[in-house]
Amino acid sequence: MTEFLKQEQIIEFISSYGLRVIGALLIFFIGKRVALWLSKVFVKVINKTSLDETTASFLSSAIYMALLFVVVLAALANLGVETTSFVALIGAMGLAIGMALRDSFSSIGAGLLIVFFKPFKVKDMIEIAGIIGVVESINIFSTVLKTNDNKQIIIPNSKIVTNNIINYSSKKIRRVDLVFGISYEDNLKKAKNILQDIAAAEQRILESPPPLIAVLELGSSSVNFAVRVWVKNDDYWDVYFYLNEVVKLKFDEEGITIPYPQVEVSQKK
């Protein structure tokens, strides 16, 4: 008789709460997908306005988090949890939660500062604390970068606003700085003319500001030339690699020596 009552209680419990649990799970998973879909729709709509992609990305993330919170409340309500009490409980625990999540809240504030002051935007190439990458997205808590070797780096927004930010994309043009050394025995004017001819012949190098080619220093083993030319941002690395290669080939062709460190070892008798 006792076992029968236990089985009956189990069946009654499952029939009473099983459907609620299933319903809550359905509400959560379906609601999560709907929230994600709505945030994407928002991005498409906002992209047609005057707002930039950076602001749209941040707002989309904020809307998704807000909708997800509503979905969680709806799932709890379906389970029979009093949501007003639940919200009141969150308010009562606000101080403790704030202390535990102070880094997350500071990241939210930092994200708002990034979106408002715009030190960089989506698709910009930036450097933060020695990390260089292209900005893929700016979310509520973090900024996502993609490095040149296709690594994804996620940086908390709070870490970004407390570090120096170098934005390589904020200006349309950028200067390529290179140093080439020649031997003291080589003809200085001839080497300078070669460098000037190379810069003048390369179409990707801008005429204004004009290229600067000058003797930088008389080094310990070489006479060093500073080669500073201006290019469009998109041409920076192509021109950088091109100049290194073509200068070496041209110096070899004209008999100009590029010194390299040598160590002389003498044996005492």
* Ranges in the chain, pLDDT < 70: 1-20, 43, 45-59, 76-105, 261-269
75 is a domain residue: yes
107 is a domain residue: no
CATH number of residue 13's parent domain: 1.10.287.1260
- Shared-domain flag, residues 177 and 163: no
216 is a domain residue: yes
Query: How many folded domains does the chain comprise?
Result: 3
1 is a domain residue: no
Indicate the residue among 107, 137, 167 that finishes a domain.
167
107 class by beta-carbon count within 10 Å (0-12 exposed, 13-18 middle, 19+ buried): buried
pTM (2 d.p.)? 0.61
pLDDT at 12: 58
Closest CA to 243 of 180, 185, 181: 180
- Shared-domain flag, residues 154 and 198: no
pLDDT at 117: 79
217 is a domain residue: yes
266 is a domain residue: no
pLDDT at 109: 75
- Provide the domain limits for residue 234: 173-254
Per the DSSP assignment, residues forming a β-bridge with 144 are 137, 154
CATH number of residue 153's parent domain: 2.30.30.60
